[in-house]
């Protein structure tokens, strides 16, 4: 194959990739045969070549074969990277600061809650008791509470009529003259200090005085009296009465009467007419409403340390009466007002005295211990024997049935004082010395605090039986 001959001088083909980098050390001069080292990397040895003059004039033979590409060496440069400024220490310091601040601040909010459950026992009661009226609290006694009120309702009238009505009311007649009973005939007069006369519609017998609880007590009876004359002038309030027929007799000052209710119903003039059927139906509604209202009112006025049993409430209701609606309004001219008055009486007991009386019967072994009954109101109360008249009698007999919850007591103030400043473990040991305590729980705050504060205002003690 004929080869091409080029007359011009062409230097051998070189690439920048084949250029050997000199050492970065300034002024370094390499000698033939000397090893070049950069960063522990050996480079090929440098050979010294002699260029002859003929090389510039002699034709250069170009081979058709592609020139062989020598693999470019790879160099790795090791150097120290700059270190980043660390923030871990700063973050840690800030965290420690805030934890310390929170710890110190929370010390001001230390508190403790102590819940205590005392010893308890349940027993069944089915006992009969006798209570005396207004005696010392060491014995079982009772007091009587009384309340009166009235309710009314407007009903449709069927017409008008001329009427003349006498006032009526209840009185209690007392016989403090002798132990012999005293008979009073019908129409017997009872006179107020103002000279107003009321009469007995029927004959009655007043019991004689008797010895009760070592005292002479006047005999008494409750009756209805009617005004001597018709008209509103006899509608009077509570009064004292004498019997004019006994004037000049020793009985005049010893047999007397007192109002139990006001005198009402006296009227003379034109009054609306209401049918008997409507009066009867309205009377039932008024009775139910009056009893409900009296019951609520009498229970609401009971002191906190006393108990009233709803079954002990007795009602004294007057007949429903009609009152004229004196008004010019045309609507009310076609209607009438029916009114009903009533009185409620009930016995109340001191809770402590009643609890002691119950425990003496069902659990005498706890006498002398600090115990109480926390469910007195759930017991079933009933009068026993003859009809009881608590307002006039000097004693009442009743029964109580039901489950009785007996709770042992402890000095809550002393226990709280004993626990101030103690650890939870120490507190449990102290609580264990109280024989009437069944179990207790101690909770302190914050969660890391395990000690009850010394400040009593930061400690709450709760009796779970209260």
Q: How many structural domains are present in the chain?
A: 2
Confidence of residue 25 (pLDDT cuts 50, 70, 90): very low
| Any domain includes 230 | yes
Four-CA torsion 38, 40, 41, 45, nearest 10 degrees: 70
Quick one: pLDDT at residue 7?
A: 47
* pLDDT > 90? residue 398: yes
Quick one: pLDDT at residue 44?
A: 56
| Any domain includes 450 | yes
Same domain, residue pair 169 and 112: no
| Any domain includes 238 | yes
Of 246, 268, 290, the residue at which a domain comes to its end is 268
| Any domain includes 245 | yes
* pLDDT > 70? residue 48: no
Of 268, 296, 319, the residue at which a domain comes to its end is 268
* pLDDT > 60? residue 128: yes
For the question of whether the overall pTM of this predicted structure is more than 0.75, the answer is no
Q: What tokens were used for 150?
A: 């009235």
The string of DSSP codes covering 269-296 is EEEEE--HHHHHHHHHHHHHHHHHHHHH
Quick one: pLDDT at residue 12?
A: 57
Helix H or strand E encompassing 417: helix 412-419
298 neighbors 175 (Cβ within 8 angstroms):
no
Cα 162 to the chain's mean position, in Å? 58
Q: What is the 3-state secondary structure (H, E, C) of 22-79?
A: CCCCCCCCCCCCCCEEECCEEECCCCCCCCCCHHHHCCEECCCCCCCCCCCCCCCCCC
What is the residue-averaged pLDDT of the chain?
81
Same domain, residue pair 178 and 113: no
Domain extent for 258: 165-268
Of 268, 289, 309, the residue at which a domain comes to its end is 268
Confidence of residue 330 (pLDDT cuts 50, 70, 90): very low
Closest CA to 359 of 408, 394, 410: 408
Q: Give mean pLDDT, residues 368-387.
A: 89
Cα separation, 343 vs 171, in Å, equals 13
Confidence of residue 328 (pLDDT cuts 50, 70, 90): very low
* pLDDT > 60? residue 114: yes
Q: Give mean pLDDT, residues 320-331.
A: 60
| Any domain includes 244 | yes
Same domain, residue pair 115 and 196: no
| Any domain includes 458 | yes
| Any domain includes 147 | no
Q: What tokens were used for 3?
A: 């080869």
Quick one: pLDDT at residue 86?
A: 58
Same domain, residue pair 114 and 191: no
Same domain, residue pair 173 and 245: yes
Same domain, residue pair 174 and 113: no
Confidence of residue 47 (pLDDT cuts 50, 70, 90): low
| Any domain includes 403 | no
Q: What is the C-alpha R_g of the chain?
A: 56
Same domain, residue pair 113 and 179: no
* pLDDT > 90? residue 359: yes
Contacts of 154 (CB under 8 A, 6+ apart): 325, 332, 335, 336, 337, 338
Same domain, residue pair 169 and 260: yes
């Amino acid at each position: 194959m004929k080869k091409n001959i080029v007359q011009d001088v062409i230097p051998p083909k070189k690439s920048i990739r084949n250029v050997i980098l000199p050492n970065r050390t300034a002024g370094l001069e390499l000698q033939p045969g000397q090893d070049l080292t950069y960063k522990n990397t050996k480079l090929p040895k440098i050979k010294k070549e002699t260029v002859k003059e003929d090389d510039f004039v002699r034709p250069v033979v170009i081979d058709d074969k592609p020139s062989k590409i020598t693999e470019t060496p790879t160099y790795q440069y090791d150097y120290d990277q700059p270190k980043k400024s660390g923030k871990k220490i700063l973050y840690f310091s800030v965290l420690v600061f805030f934890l310390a601040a929170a710890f110190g601040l929370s010390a001001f909010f230390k508190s403790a809650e102590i819940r205590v459950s005392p010893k308890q026992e349940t027993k069944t009661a089915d006992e009969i008791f006798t209570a005396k009226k207004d005696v010392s609290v060491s014995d079982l006694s009772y007091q009587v509470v009384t309340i009166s009120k009235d309710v009314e309702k407007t009903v449709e009238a069927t017409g008008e009529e001329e009427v003349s009505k006498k006032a009526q009311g209840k009185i209690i007649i007392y016989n403090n003259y002798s132990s012999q009973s005293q008979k009073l005939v019908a129409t017997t007069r009872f006179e107020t200090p103002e000279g107003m006369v009321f009469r007995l519609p029927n004959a009655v017998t007043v019991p004689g005085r008797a010895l009760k609880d070592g005292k002479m007590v006047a005999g008494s009876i409750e009756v209805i009296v009617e005004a001597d004359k018709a008209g509103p002038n006899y509608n009077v309030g509570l009064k004292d009465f004498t019997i004019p027929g006994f004037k000049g007799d020793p009985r005049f000052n010893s047999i007397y009467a007192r109002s139990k209710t006001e005198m009402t119903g006296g009227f003379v003039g034109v009054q609306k007419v209401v049918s008997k059927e409507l009066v009867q139906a309205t009377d039932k509604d008024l009775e139910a409403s009056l009893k409900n209202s009296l019951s609520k009112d009498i229970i609401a006025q009971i002191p906190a340390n006393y108990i009233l049993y709803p079954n002990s409430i007795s009602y004294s209701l007057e007949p429903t009466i009609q009152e004229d609606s004196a008004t010019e309004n045309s609507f009310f001219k076609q209607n009438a007002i029916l009114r009903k008055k009533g009185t409620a009486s009930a016995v109340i007991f001191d809770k402590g005295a009643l609890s002691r009386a119950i425990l003496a019967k069902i659990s005498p072994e706890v006498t002398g211990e600090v115990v109480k009954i926390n469910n007195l109101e759930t017991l079933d109360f009933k009068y026993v024997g003859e009809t009881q008249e608590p307002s006039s009698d000097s004693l009442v007999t009743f029964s109580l049935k039901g489950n009785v919850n007996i709770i042992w007591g402890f000095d809550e103030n002393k226990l709280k004082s004993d626990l101030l400043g103690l650890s939870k473990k120490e507190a449990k040991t102290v609580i264990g010395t109280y024989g009437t305590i069944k179990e207790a729980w101690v909770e302190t705050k914050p969660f890391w605090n395990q000690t009850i504060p010394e400040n009593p205002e930061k400690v709450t003690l709760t009796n779970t039986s209260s």
